[in-house]
């Protein structure tokens, strides 16, 4: 048996939260505790969750007051720590889980098996897919990028990296820091995470991609890597718009000298990683394959 806990910061998830709950309660390996932190929902989210907390004593709901708006980045992290403070059991792994997902019944069994197979694996996830009329759309993910929407951490690694920063980009800074400290981070395509909202869609496509571009800057991303990444993104939906918006977000943050949220040490390590990728043939083969498919 594996002792793990799940913490879910959520806000206004009445449309999908039941799918997420169903996925968790049907896991072959269930969590010791699942703390759901309701960050001021104004819809039926609390009502739906309460029907399950009455049935399962390992699911707990914490309600925070409505601040009147959705706070990106820091709001999620603050809610996560609100939940972490309420954990009563001992645990080996901690999971951060969003409220708009579903996944297979053996998802965590698979993930914990990978932790056994790869001794230095510190963070892991599956990869996310968005349901569309023509099937599942893969939210293009590098192998070393762990999906923040459903990320599993060894407890010792979570403590080693100092937890999450209270800022946009927390779910990339965590894995950069882990790799800098010698841990492996991995997302496994074998396990699909069904994501019912596309990344960045809460703000709209244009604003969402501008925001992601600015995050690329404040976490220390390399300009050349960003340019090539923007070229790559021209072949992702919505075509061209996402790429231009991401490009503008990054370079606007650079021109306005937006404050970075990482240390010089982390920035240097991250840029070295990105430049190493630029020298790898596999990096360019991904681009070529993307163009061929279109």
Beta bridge mates, 36: 8, 61
Q: Is the dihedral of CA 97, 172, 207, 135 positive or negative?
A: negative
Beta bridge mates, 93: 4, 154
pLDDT given for residue 280 in this prediction: 77
Tell me: pLDDT of 291 over 80.
Answer: no
pLDDT given for residue 229 in this prediction: 82
Ordered domains of the chain (ranges, CATH): 4-199 (3.90.550.10), 202-293 (no CATH)
Model confidence band, residue 176 (pLDDT cutoffs 50, 70, 90):
very high
pLDDT given for residue 60 in this prediction: 98
pLDDT given for residue 288 in this prediction: 56
Tell me: pLDDT of 178 over 70.
Answer: yes
Q: Which residue has the higher pLDDT, 283 or 280?
A: 280
Model confidence band, residue 50 (pLDDT cutoffs 50, 70, 90):
very high
Tell me: pLDDT of 162 over 80.
Answer: yes
pLDDT given for residue 286 in this prediction: 57
pLDDT digits (tens, 9 = 90+) for 76-135: 999 999 999 999 999 999 999 999 999 999 999 999 999 999 999 999 999 999 998 888
Average pLDDT in the chain: 91
Distance (Å, whole) CA 74 – CA 170: 8
Model confidence band, residue 203 (pLDDT cutoffs 50, 70, 90):
low
Tell me: pLDDT of 34 over 60.
Answer: yes
Give one DSSP letter per residue of 224-243, joined into a string: HHHHHHHHHHTTSSSTTHHH
> Could you give the percent of the chain with pLDDT greater than 70?
90
Give the distance, in angstroms, between the CA of residue 66 and the centroid of all CA atoms in the same chain.
23
Tell me: pLDDT of 242 over 70.
Answer: yes
Model confidence band, residue 281 (pLDDT cutoffs 50, 70, 90):
low
User: Scanning the structure block, which residue is given the tokens 């059991």?
Assistant: 89
Tell me: pLDDT of 204 over 80.
Answer: no
Q: Determine the average pLDDT of the residues in 225-254.
A: 85
Distant-in-sequence, close-in-space partners of 252: CB < 8 Å, separation ≥ 6: 210, 213, 214
Q: Which residue has the higher pLDDT, 109 or 292?
A: 109
Burial of residue 125, with CB atoms counted within 10 A of its CB: 0-12 exposed, 13-18 middle, 19 or more buried: buried
pLDDT given for residue 140 in this prediction: 79
pLDDT given for residue 202 in this prediction: 60
pLDDT given for residue 234 in this prediction: 78
């Amino acid at each position: 048996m594996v002792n793990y806990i799940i913490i879910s910061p959520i806000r206004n998830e009445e449309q999908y939260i039941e799918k997420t709950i169903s996925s968790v309660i049907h896991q072959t390996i269930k969590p010791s505790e699942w703390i759901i932190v309701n960050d001021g929902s104004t819809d039926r989210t609390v009502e739906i969750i309460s029907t399950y907390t009455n049935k399962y004593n390992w699911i707990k709901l914490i309600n925070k007051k409505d601040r009147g708006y959705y706070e990106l980045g820091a709001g999620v992290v603050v809610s996560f720590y609100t939940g972490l403070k309420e954990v009563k059991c001992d645990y080996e792994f901690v999971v951060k889980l969003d409220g708009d997902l579903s996944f297979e019944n053996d998802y965590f069994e698979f993930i914990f098996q990978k932790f056994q197979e790869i001794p230095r694996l510190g963070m892991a996830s599956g990869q996310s897919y968005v349901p569309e009329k023509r099937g599942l759309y893969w939210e293009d993910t590098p192998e070393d990028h762990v999906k923040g929407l459903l990320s599993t951490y060894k407890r010792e690694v979570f403590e080693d990296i100092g937890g999450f920063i209270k800022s946009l980009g927390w779910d990339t800074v965590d894995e950069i820091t882990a790799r800098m400290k010698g841990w492996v981070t991995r997302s496994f395509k074998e396990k699909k995470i069904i994501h019912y909202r596309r990344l960045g869609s809460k703000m709209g496509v244009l604003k969402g991609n501008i925001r992601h571009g600015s995050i690329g800057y404040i976490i220390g991303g390399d300009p050349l890597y960003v340019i090539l990444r923007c070229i790559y993104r021209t072949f992702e939906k919505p075509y061209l718009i996402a790429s231009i918006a991401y490009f503008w977000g990054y370079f606007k943050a650079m021109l306005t000298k937006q404050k970075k949220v990482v240390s010089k040490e982390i920035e240097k390590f991250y840029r070295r990683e990105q430049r190493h990728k630029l020298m790898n043939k596999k990096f360019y083969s991904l681009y070529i394959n993307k163009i061929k498919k279109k």
